[in-house]
Amino acid sequence: MAQDGAMERSSYVTSVRADAERLLAAAAPGALDRPVPTCPGWTVERLVGHLGRVHRWTAGWVATGAGPEIERPPAGPDVMRWTRAGTDELVAALAGEGGDGTVATWAGPQPASFWPRRMAIETAIHRWDAENAVGAAGPIAVDLAVDGVHELLSVILPFRGTGDLGPAGATIHIHATDPDVSGGEWLVTVADGGGVTVEPVHAKGDVAVRGPASDLLLLLYNRVGTDGCQVFGDESLLARWRTAVAV
């Protein structure tokens, strides 16, 4: 079962706004036609439009408990203004939502932090995609990256599935090495018939990967390789992850 987010709700909303602005700054009109290497087949323009659609779609979920139909984004520089308006709509929706209960999501009922956390992580990863496409990409904030790894393992993969990660019982230990990080270790075990089970513990795995939380999140989302991390044990498990897990 998914745990509630580790960050304060207001911090997630602040992160959505800040990373959306950074994405738009990277996607200045002169960069809209650049390819996005980490989103094969996409240009920066398409990435900007995607973010605008996701923000509007999520605002609809927050308001109504279901995903609405969203118009196609405009072409060319107009997509910048359209996406910023979508972010405004999302931030207003998230700021107006409250309570400590559960909310409707595509993954079934989830803690009230689900949408702020989901959008903070989504926006941060796509901000990284945009910055990487035009120059140097800044890391994802440590607390948010830890939340992102937890969400991926405990919410997204159980919902979407993992593909063929290898034999049942194979284990991957993931360890965030940032100073003073909280909750930054996970033991992932391949389950019978696909999927994984996850324990937030320090343990020995068939392969262990250690590194900054941002690098771990980007690795698990297939944005980067293992260059920023230390890997011990059966590296073929991580290689299978890169082909089997599509996020």
- Both tokens of residue 179? 């100073």
State the chain's mean pLDDT as an integer.
92
Residue 50 is predicted with a pLDDT of 98
Mean pLDDT, residues 51-75: 95
CA distance 130 to 102: 33
Task: Check pLDDT > 50 for residue 125.
Answer: yes
**pLDDT band at 5; cut points 50, 70, 90:** low
Contact 113, 5 (CB under 8 A): yes
CA distance 192 to 26: 43
Closest CA to 162 of 138, 207, 135, 196: 196
Closest CA to 93 of 70, 117, 118, 116: 116
The 8-class DSSP code of residue 155 comes to I
CA distance 58 to 195: 26
What is the DSSP code string of 106-161? TTSSEETTHHHHHHHHHHHHHHHHHHHHHSPPPPPPHHHHHHHHHHIIIIIHHHH-
Query: What interhelical angle do 78-96 and 44-64 show, nearest 10?
Result: 30
User: Is the torsion defined by CA of 230, 243, 129, 214 positive or negative?
Assistant: negative
214 phi/psi in degrees, rounded to 5: -60, -45
Residue 99 is predicted with a pLDDT of 66
The 8-class DSSP code of residue 232 comes to E
pTM listed for this prediction: 0.94
Domains defined along the chain, listed by start: 9-134 (1.20.120.450), 161-244 (3.30.1050.10)
Exposed, middle or buried: residue 210 (CB in 10 Å: 0-12, 13-18, 19+)? middle
CA distance 238 to 226: 9
How is the chain split among helix, strand and coil, in percent rounded to 5?
50, 15, 40
The 8-class DSSP code of residue 56 comes to H
- Both tokens of residue 233? 């044990």
Residue 61 is predicted with a pLDDT of 95
Residue 101 is predicted with a pLDDT of 85
CA angle 56/163/139 to nearest 5° reads 50
Task: Kindly report, residue by residue over 31-52, the tens digit of the pLDDT.
Answer: 999 999 999 999 999 999 999 9
